[in-house]
Amino acid sequence: MTMIASEMLETYPADLGGIDREKLAACIGECFACAQACTACADACLSESDVGALVKCVRSNLDCADVCAATGRVLSRHTGYDANVTRAVLEACAAACKACGDMCAEHEHMAHCRHCADKCRACERACRDLLASLG
């Protein structure tokens, strides 16, 4: 995914401004990967026999999938860059990933939550790295 995001970044026909290309490509890739993992984790939770104990996890997964998907799209656009929107969206994505990562980490005995927690941590880190690089 990061490779794909990098490929498309390299084809952008105008100036990307001072943004860190590697951090940007990494963050786009993590957003799409996390959106997929969270969508799948919500569904896997629904198939667990003790789904009643997992409803807050499903909700965290669904929020995180939605926010990561929107963030991955916003970051995939460079025309008319708006630092305020980018920052606020990255903050929201980091918050959603933190909440979902913490929730899934409580259920690491289930492989889907363990993998999903990893993706959420990686995406949160990529959002914060990109935020820090924006100055």
Smallest distance from the beta carbon of 65 to a second copy, in angstroms? 8
Q: What DSSP character marks residue 110?
A: S
The pair of structure tokens assigned to 85 is: 């929107």
Choose among 76, 101, 64, 70: nearest CA to 88: 70
Smallest distance from the beta carbon of 131 to a second copy, in angstroms? 12
CA distance 38 to 57: 10
CA distance 115 to 42: 12
Q: Which is nearer to a second copy, 13 or 135 (CB)?
A: 13
Smallest distance from the beta carbon of 133 to a second copy, in angstroms? 19
User: What is the torsion angle, in degrees rounded to the nearest 10, for the CA atoms of residue 32, residue 38, residue 43 and residue 47?
Assistant: 140
Q: Which residues bind a second copy (CB under 8 A)?
A: 1, 4-5, 7-14, 28, 32-33, 35-37, 39-44, 46-49, 51-52, 55-60, 62-63, 65-67, 69-70, 72-74, 76-80, 82, 84-85, 87-89, 91-92, 94-96, 98-99, 110-112, 114-116, 119
Smallest distance from the beta carbon of 105 to a second copy, in angstroms? 15
